[in-house]
Structure 1
Amino acid sequence: MAQKENLYISGHSKAVLDWHSARTAANSAAYLLKYIRPDMHILDIGCGPGSITADLAALVPQGSVIGIDVGPEVIEEARSMAAKRGLKNIGFEVGDAHALDFPDHRFDVIHAHQVLQHIGDPPHALREWQRVTKQGGIIASREADSGSAAYYPASSDLAEFQGIYRKAARSRSGEPDGGRHLVAWARAAGIDRSSITATASVWCYSTPEERAYWSNVWIGRLVESSMRENIINGGFATAKDLDRYAQAWRDWAADEDGWWTLLHGEILCHF
Structure 2
Amino acid sequence: MFWVLFLLLAWAGVLIACTRLLRAATEAAEPVSVGAITHHHDELNLYEAAYLSGGPRRVAELTLPSMQRQRRLLLAHTGWATVLDPVGRDPHERSALVAFGPDGQSPVASIRTAVAEDAAVRALAERLGAAGLAPAGGAGRGTYDAIRSVRRAALLVLAMAAAAFCVPADGTSAAMLLSWFALPLLLALGCLAIARFEGHRDSPWASPDGQRLLDSLDRERGREGSLTAVAVRGLGAVADPGLRAALEYGGRGSVPRQRGD
Could you state the TM-score of these two structures normalised by the residue count of structure 1? 0.23
Is the helix fraction higher in 1 or 2? 2
Larger radius of gyration: 2
Could you state the TM-score of these two structures normalised by the residue count of structure 2? 0.23
